[in-house]
Amino acid sequence: MQVEKIFFVIAFKLTKYVLSFFFFYLMVLFYDPSAIGTVQFAIAFVSIFSFIFNVGFSIAHLKIYPEEENKASCIGTLLSYKVLFIFLSLIFYFTLLSFMNLDSILLNIILIFIFDLIIQSINTSFSNILIADDKTLKATFPWIVISSSKIVLLIISLFLFSNNILTLSIIYLLSSVIHSGFLLIYIFPYKIVKPKKILLKKYLKYTYPLIFSNVILMIGGNIGIILINFWVSSEAVAFYYVGDHLSVFRTIIPNVISLVMISIFSKNIADNKAEKNNFIIAKVSKYFCIFWGGIIILSFLYSDEIIIIFMGKNYFSSIFVFNVLVLAQIIIINDIAVYTDLNARGLTKLYSTIMMVGEFYNIFLMILFIAPFGLNLGINGLALSILFRYLTYNPIVRFFLWKKYNYKYNLGIFLYLFVALIVIIVNHFFYEKFSIDLTIHFYLIPFFMIVNFIIYFGILYLLRVIKKEDIKYIKLLLNIKNLINLLYEDLAIKNNGSEN
């Protein structure tokens, strides 16, 4: 049942990605790079300080809620902390802005995204209430709503208003409000009671080690855009954003695993069945790394044509960013289930330390690769710094975790990458021999994608990496009738014991 839910969550994420790409494509058509760059700068600037909203109580709720009998008090605890930190964040942001000399347009844009971030933080809490109660599909289905609403609002704005930066910013805010509306439909049946003192302490005890890691994670995740805007230009921010946004699907797998598996892992540990987690970690690593090898093939073979065809030659510099970020993701996929299990075990101090050290190292690499007094590589440097961090830091961490907690590393990742490299090389020889220009014959791209996927998985099948039992399992997973029934049952609005 849980695997089917993961399948649906990934499907929701992919749908959200496709819709987000369409919204993004409309932005590129109707807004110039400087406008897109300014909006992305504002989002990054506000997000750097968003740790105030996300200090770790959501993760604590996913861990503690399945173990507690008083569910309503757990929800009350989570929402009480959320209200407190929203209040603190407003004081912080307005104090910060009072010391900054910003022009009126940029100030208004930043204010819009501050309120957008507040709404998003509330939505995150709503989502985690549902996920902790094993209502993952109800929590994630509204992702499609938020992406669809952005498209509709953008089209309406193009007809009724001028395509200025403020209008674009308001679209983001309104889509978050619509997202809240859909989540409230599912949250309404839940009872919320005043939090007990013991629960407040329990949430705080679990969360405080995560506070520092969340701070550095938010800074590390957004400082790159700030540095590009400062050391290069707002147009360069737009070019990096294109490569990053086109590869946004790379975050689907880690996010889904973290959302769905934390409660599963916690329940297994509470039931003294921790060995199940090791089995799940091995399966997750194998299947998703194999799949990602195919994604790398498609990225390296067709990213040039796709970006030039859809975005235009002005965005040629986005191609390198896109390919590097997709390549880097395979390392994260191999690690993410392990980090999820660390949180489920309650080893938040260790997890926090790993994340903090990694992000400090990441920020150092960003400055080294981007700065004029460093390697001065611009947007390519930002992408390369992320890849270099994963190649050097993550293996050291995994070696430590293997020695201390016996988390095994999926060495098959090197075989998947080797097979992917063979397929890429063969394709290059094929295209050169027959002089095929896919920017002209772009209609052939879907056909070649399917053929290369078949070749890649076919080689892995011949090497017995993918076995008959794997294929049978996938067929069972993709039983359409069972999937439809599961979707209907999970998305139905009804009262039950967990909601009282």
* Residues 412-470 pLDDT 10s: 889 999 999 999 999 888 877 777 777 677 778 888 889 998 999 999 999 988 887 77
pLDDT band at 372 (very low <50, low <70, confident <90, very high): very high
* Distance, CA of 268 to CA of 54 (rounded, Å): 26
> Mean pLDDT over all residues of the chain?
81
Q: What is the average pLDDT across 195-200?
A: 84
Residue 462 lies in a domain: no
Q: What is the average pLDDT across 43-61?
A: 74
Q: What is the average pLDDT across 459-482?
A: 72
Residue 426 lies in a domain: no
Check if the beta carbon of residue 327 is closer than 8 Å to that of residue 188. Answer: no
Q: How many structural domains compose the chain?
A: 1
pLDDT confidence of residue 134: 77
pLDDT confidence of residue 500: 45
pLDDT confidence of residue 418: 94
Tokens (6 digits) for 113: 């995204």
Q: Compute CA distances 117 → 114, 185, 433, whole Å.
A: 5, 21, 52
3-state secondary structure of 494: coil
The runs of H, that is alpha helices, within 345-494 are 348-370, 378-405, 412-434, 445-462, 468-477, 480-491
Q: Is the dihedral of CA 86, 192, 4, 24 positive or negative?
A: negative
Task: Estimate the crossing angle of helix 165-187 against helix 142-160, to 10 degrees.
Answer: 150
Enumerate helices (H) and strands (E) in the chain, giving the number of each: 19, 0
pLDDT confidence of residue 485: 56
pLDDT band at 345 (very low <50, low <70, confident <90, very high): confident
* Distance, CA of 362 to CA of 365 (rounded, Å): 5
Chain centroid offset of residue 229 CA:
23
- Domain span holding position 204: 2-410+467-493
Residue 478 lies in a domain: yes
* Distance, CA of 450 to CA of 456 (rounded, Å): 10
Residue 30 lies in a domain: yes
Q: In terms of Cα–Cα distance, which of 247, 239, 246 is closest to 379? A: 239
pLDDT band at 493 (very low <50, low <70, confident <90, very high): low
Q: What phi and psi values does residue 68 have, to the nearest 5 degrees? A: -100, 145
Residue 452 lies in a domain: no
**Is the per-residue pLDDT at 203 higher than 90?**
no
One-letter identity of residue 420: A
One-letter identity of residue 483: L
Residue 457 lies in a domain: no
Q: What phi and psi values does residue 466 have, to the nearest 5 degrees? A: -95, 125
Residue 119 lies in a domain: yes
Chain centroid offset of residue 257 CA:
10
**Is the per-residue pLDDT at 2 higher than 60?**
no
Residue 430 lies in a domain: no
Q: What is the average pLDDT across 347-360?
A: 85
